[in-house]
Amino acid sequence: MGWFKRNKNTDTEGGSIKIVEGMWVKCPFCRAIIFKREIDRNLKVCSKCQYHFPMTVEERLELIADPETFQEWDADLIPGDPLKFQDSQPYKARIEKAQHKTGKREAILTGQCQISGCAVALGIFDFSFMGGSMGSVVGEKICRAVDQALSRRIPFLLITTSGGARMQEGTLSLMQMAKTASALAKLQEAKLPFVVLLTDPTFGGVTASVAMLGDIILAEPKALIGFAGPRVIEQTIKQRLPDGFQRAEFLLEHGMVDQIVERKALKSRLRSLMIHCGMSVSA
């Protein structure tokens, strides 16, 4: 997302533009410069190309959850530093910095809400917290949310946006891929729906585990979804990738996602899916 600031005295003659900080947004997909209020009014969707900008966890909750129905689970879980990992700075310092910046304790919010009157277990990744990376706490919260869904006999909805596994936790982070996959298998055995919404971006170990295990896999338009990034793949195979490679539309065409759903239609689509899966919803 490009946010622009120019001198207030910028000359407007000859077609130059005066851009005030925080008032305009540059779409990363079509490169159009759009008035920020227009983006906000349009559910954070580009009016030129329909690219879906990232949303905060709170914005996503407001979009899909019935008012005043969300109840958070496991808010007290916080990451440790079992490996005493340090790169340019200690892992503990990175965690504290992310917590101070976001006001969150970890990179996922879990809980229960109602969507059109249907009780749903919910998990929402938060990309602003260390790139939505999946470490021990994120994996544990997903597993606990699955346990809650099982005990309450309700479906589980997971909204992903992540750079992948959290490297500062090493093998403990990679283990979450198998751990969450094992937990989700219990939902399948219990015949409870697991729905995933892939948003921009969803990559790495999250894509290689929970994000692709849904009974129904939805994606937002133009979302980047994959394991390694396109530049890494091109440099590895020494070939140019097809246009649109790793975008949601490409994945839909090749059978990796089931549906692409625009943000404005998401809640009604979720309601339809819950009805189709035999869940009770309000009229």
Among 20-34, 40-54, 145-159, 216-230, the least confident range: 20-34
Do 47 and 58 share a structural domain?
no
Which parts of 53-133 fold into alpha helices (H)? 57-64, 91-102
Q: Do the domain assignments include residue 281?
A: no
Do 78 and 42 share a structural domain?
no
Q: Do the domain assignments include residue 282?
A: no
* Digit-coded pLDDT (tens) for 85-104: 999 999 999 999 999 999 99
Going by DSSP bridges, is the β-strand pair 108-115/71-73 parallel, antiparallel, or unpaired? antiparallel
- Total count of domains within the chain: 2
Collapsing DSSP states into helix, strand and coil, what is residue 231? helix
pLDDT more than 70, % of the chain: 90
Mean pLDDT of 33-48: 92
Provide the residue range defining the domain that includes 7.
Answer: 1-53
Total count of residues recorded for the chain = 283
Residue 203: count of CB within 10 angstroms of its CB: 22
pLDDT at 279: 74
Do 66 and 1 share a structural domain?
no
Beta carbons within 8 Å of 254's beta carbon, 6+ residues apart: none
Q: Do the domain assignments include residue 283?
A: no
Do 64 and 30 share a structural domain?
no
Q: Do the domain assignments include residue 269?
A: yes
Distance CA 227, CA 212 (A): 11
What single letter denotes the amino acid at residue 197?
A: L
Q: Which residues pair with 90 in a beta bridge?
A: 86
pLDDT at 280: 65
CB 171 within 8 Å of CB 179: no
Residue the block writes with tokens 């290689």: 208
- Cα dihedral across residues 97, 171, 56, 36: positive or negative: positive
pLDDT tier at 228, thresholds 50, 70, 90: confident
Mean pLDDT of 5-14: 36
Do 263 and 251 share a structural domain?
yes
pLDDT at 283: 53
Distance CA 116, CA 282 (A): 6
Q: Do the domain assignments include residue 159?
A: yes
pLDDT at 5: 40
| Residue 17, pLDDT above cutoff 80 | no
Cα 200 to chain centroid, rounded: 7
In this predicted model, which residue has the larger pLDDT, 16 or 137? 137
Among 128-137, 188-197, 229-238, the least confident range: 229-238
